[in-house]
Amino acid sequence: MTRWHLTAALAGGATLAALLAPTLNGLVSTGGGDTNNGGGGLIQPLVEPPLPPPLTQQAGKIQLTAGLDQGAVLAGQPTERLLVVTLKAPDADGGNDRPVNVSLVIDRSGSMQQRGKMEYAKRAARELIESLDASDTFSMVLFSDDAELLAPARPMLDAAWLLRQVDAIEERGSTNLYAGMTMGIEQVRRSVSSETVNRVVLLTDGRANLGVVDPDSLGNIAASAASAGVTLSAMGLGVDYNEDLLASLADHGGGSYRYVSDPTTLTAAFRDELQQMSAVVASGVAVDVDLGDAELVSVLGGYAASGDTDRTRIWLGDLYGGETRKIVLKVRVKPGAAGGNLDVAKVTLSDRDGSYAPAQVLASVTDRPEEVERSLNKGLASLGYMAVASDLADQAASAYAAGKKDESLSLLRASTGIAAQNAARFDDDSLRKQAATLEEQRVQYDAAAPESEEGQHAVKQNKATGRAWSR
């Protein structure tokens, strides 16, 4: 396969990993200093609690770190904490690209005529086809009122024939996303292998309006395919599609979600997708969080999660070379006695190769508030509060899309406040940038009507930005 060079998006993940590394090695101490006061009298130093540090360990190919934003809690009362899990994938070996088994599923409904969207989709499909070689397997599905198998799954031996099929595509009909998605999954499953990257890439510009349209049912189909080794990525083109549905399909399917606002950028989006496929270093990745002396409040970031207040599984799917991912959970730590430790959680990573030893997350219990404050881990807390602020911003986007503009602006002000306050508290530039971006979002929402094209674009763009902050 002729691979494209590393994209800026993927390179950004490697840069993020480098930035995170110094903050994930241990707790940041704010104590210490001279024990003599200005008058010469002695000040008794505070006794440091036996703080359990965030645990970093190797889980197969992935480096896993798990810890709390603050490692100590006050005795005798329940306490909410942020449990932060980071996953760091090794760099991909560009000299050993894995073959891909990919099905391209394209919406050919009538709306694809607008703004020349179909012509740009055909151009992107041509470039994708020309980038594959005989070691790769390719199929192509079109959907409108129903699905049509334009090219069945087979090795890339006749690119010229495929290009002629792409040239003949015409727009028509409605949007039976279910039919197209299921046909694409079936094509990939026919050639699924542990030696290949098995992916469905779905492109649509509209809302599912024929066949199965229930988001939960469609998500379950994507999840079932992922459990069989077939991941699914979703691309939304323009402003008329349901971004929550496509993001959910990608989350359950273990692939990526992309908002493509301008059809002229479709080829670049396809390039990014192929680059990521060729850089997969771990497949079928999931994280299980078993809570002991704590209960789950929420999982941030919109992940596909299942379970209950004691055990939660977060599904991640494929991880790419150099990528760093984070998971942030709000947990309520149960009351404990001063001087002891609480067993908050065991965090276990699994992938296609197996399940690995769990990382144990502990909290020390103290009756001194100053010890709780000194237990702050700035690195994990910064990651955690970025996800908290993003969660509120996502709620703001949903409220705005529903026409609740005042509620949306109120939520965005709260989100901006969380980012700005914690940026100052932790002296963190990433949170400062988030606060500035959130203020720009507030200005966007205030200036445009939710039903306008500008308003719909703002919602999709801001939700995509929020996913990056949360993960």
Mean pLDDT for 401-406 is: 94
On whether the CB atoms of residues 226 and 315 are closer than 8 A, the answer is yes
pLDDT at 41: 38
- Is the model's pLDDT at 14 over the cut of 60? no
pLDDT in tens, 32-42: 333 333 333 33
On whether the CB atoms of residues 171 and 121 are closer than 8 A, the answer is no
On whether the CB atoms of residues 191 and 153 are closer than 8 A, the answer is yes
Percent of the chain at pLDDT exceeding 70:
88
Q: Beta strands of 47-99 (E only): which ranges?
A: 55-59, 62-68, 72-74, 79-88
pLDDT at 94: 56
pLDDT at 96: 52
CA angle at 49 for the pair 44 and 55, rounded to the nearest 5°: 145
Mean pLDDT for 139-168 is: 93
Rounded Cα distance between 227 and 222, Å, is 9
pLDDT at 448: 93
pLDDT at 466: 92
pLDDT in tens, 205-226: 988 899 999 999 999 999 999 9
Rounded Cα distance between 109 and 113, Å, is 8
List the chain domain ranges: 8-22+57-92+282-376, 94-278, 381-470
pLDDT in tens, 243-256: 999 999 999 999 99
- Is the model's pLDDT at 349 over the cut of 70? yes
- Is the model's pLDDT at 53 over the cut of 90? no
Q: Tell me the two tokens of residue 439.
A: 């203020």
pLDDT at 140: 96
- Is the model's pLDDT at 22 over the cut of 60? no
- Is the model's pLDDT at 262 over the cut of 80? yes
SS3 371: helix
| Beta bridge partners of residue 102, listed in sequence order | 138, 199
- Is the model's pLDDT at 18 over the cut of 70? no
**Judging by DSSP bridges, how do beta strands 324-333 and 197-204 pair with one another?**
unpaired
pLDDT at 17: 36
Check for a shared fold between 8-22+57-92+282-376 and 94-278.
no
Architecture of the structural domain at 94-278: 3-Layer(aba) Sandwich (3.40)
Q: Using alpha carbons, select from 343, 377, 379, 336 the residue that is nearest to residue 360.
A: 343
Residue 307 backbone zone (phi > 0: left; psi -120 to 50: alpha; other: beta):
left
- Is the model's pLDDT at 103 over the cut of 90? yes
Q: Is the dihedral of CA 159, 165, 171, 173 positive or negative?
A: negative
SS3 355: strand
Architecture of the structural domain at 8-22+57-92+282-376: Sandwich (2.60)
- Is the model's pLDDT at 44 over the cut of 60? no
Q: Using alpha carbons, select from 43, 73, 53 the residue that is nearest to residue 371.
A: 73
Rounded Cα distance between 248 and 225, Å, is 14
pLDDT at 54: 65
* pTM attached to this predicted model: 0.83
Rounded Cα distance between 264 and 121, Å, is 9
Mean pLDDT for 370-378 is: 93
- Is the model's pLDDT at 437 over the cut of 80? yes
SS3 170: coil
SS3 397: helix
pLDDT in tens, 312-347: 999 999 999 999 999 999 999 999 998 899 999 999
Q: Tell me the two tokens of residue 403.
A: 């026409």
Query: CA separation (Å) from 456 to 251, 335, 397?
Result: 22, 45, 10
Mean pLDDT for 172-186 is: 95
Answer with the residue of higher pLDDT: 105 or 278. 105
Mean of all residue pLDDT scores within the chain: 87
CA angle at 145 for the pair 141 and 148, rounded to the nearest 5°: 25
Q: What DSSP element (H or E) covers 315?
A: strand 311-320
Which DSSP state fits 296? Answer: E
